[in-house]
Structures are given as C-alpha cells and as structure tokens.
Amino acid sequence: MEAIKAAWTVEVSDVVALGPYRAATLTGKKGSWQLYFPRSGPCAELVRPGARPVYRFDGPFGLLVGDDRMVRCSPVGIGSLAAWRDQRGRRRSQYLVPREQARFSPVPGRTGDSEAHLLVRGSFPLALEIRWPEPMDAVAVLPATRACREQLLRRKTTMEFRAEGPEVLVLRGESGECPIVGLALPLAL
C-alpha cells in the first residue's frame, strides 16, 4: 500500500527553455516557486502555461501528476534557491559564511534560449547546506553577466553559502560575485 503524500493543485506559468531543461513557475497553496524539468517526455505535456497538474511532495523535488493520474513528471532541479533553503532547513555550519572550492565547466552549447543564462556542470560542495541531493555532480544556472562569464573561464573558484537573503550560493572571483540562480541534476544529453 502506497503512503499518502501531501498534494495540491498548482498552476504552471512562465515556462521557458533553458538548455535541455524547461523552467516553469508553479503556483499553489504553498506559494510560488520555479522548478526545472526535462524538455521532453511526459513533462512536455504537463509543464505548459496554464496547465493545472497536481504537485505531490514526493522524491527530491516533488512530482507532477496529470488529471488522469497516468501522466507523471519528476522535476530535476530548482530555480527558487532561497525558497528551497528556507523551506527545507539547513545543515548547521561552524562558519558564519561557509566557503568551499567549486569546480565546473560549461555545458557545451547549453545556454538558455534567451541567452540570459549560462549552464555549468561540476562540483558545488556547499549545495549540501540546502540539502541538495547531488552536490558533487550538478548543473548550476548562472546569469549571463560579465562576472559570471569570467568565472566560466576560470573553471574553479570560491563559492559561498548565505543563510539569509535572496542569493543563496555565490561564486566569488576577481571580477565580482556570480550568484547561482538554480541547480539541476544532469540530464543525459
């Protein structure tokens, strides 16, 4: 017998392509948050503007279920890192602002369709602070700013975790700060 999980209807909006992902805002009784989904398969059916699937609190990022309960789609990442941090709880750190080395490389040819974002794949150890399931192999979504583009060339930099405020994980370098705006599990490309 399957355990009953918390579930509620959400409305899908602001759907945009982001490399191999589809970013979408889900709004429901628990507020609004942005999740990342694969662009193909059952997610293509459920993750479209105006759709009203049921969101179940199941698995690392939840589960979307269609009206007929036959179509299911598992999110593979989150773009609302501050909401995720505040909702999921954090590990206790001995440092005021924890710092670690992040190592990454660009995901070839995979930027957002609007060119507003860059995708990098690598090791982001401080993602553990927000209970991210796979911090040593994750795809980070970065804004396509000058500071972030310069970080991309370095492929290794200091990252910080911030327990408060809108920026949760930040890459720091000589060119300035580059906030990580989302994290996703790598997809087979």
| Domain parsing of the chain, residue ranges | 7-78, 88-184
Q: What is the pLDDT along the chain (189 residues), one digit of tens a residue?
A: 355 568 889 999 999 999 899 999 999 987 899 999 999 889 998 999 999 999 998 888 999 999 877 899 999 999 999 988 888 655 555 557 899 999 999 998 655 545 789 999 999 999 999 989 999 999 999 999 999 999 988 899 999 999 989 999 999 988 899 999 999 999 975
Q: Are 21 and 34 in contact (CB under 8 A)?
A: no
CA dist., res. 45 & res. 71, Å (int):
8
Q: How far, in Å, CA of 36 to CA of 21, rounded?
A: 6
The CATH number for 7-78, chosen from 1.10.3470, 3.20.20, 2.60.40, 2.40.50, is: 2.40.50
pTM of the entire predicted model: 0.88
Give the span between the Cα atoms of 184 and 118, in whole angstroms. 13
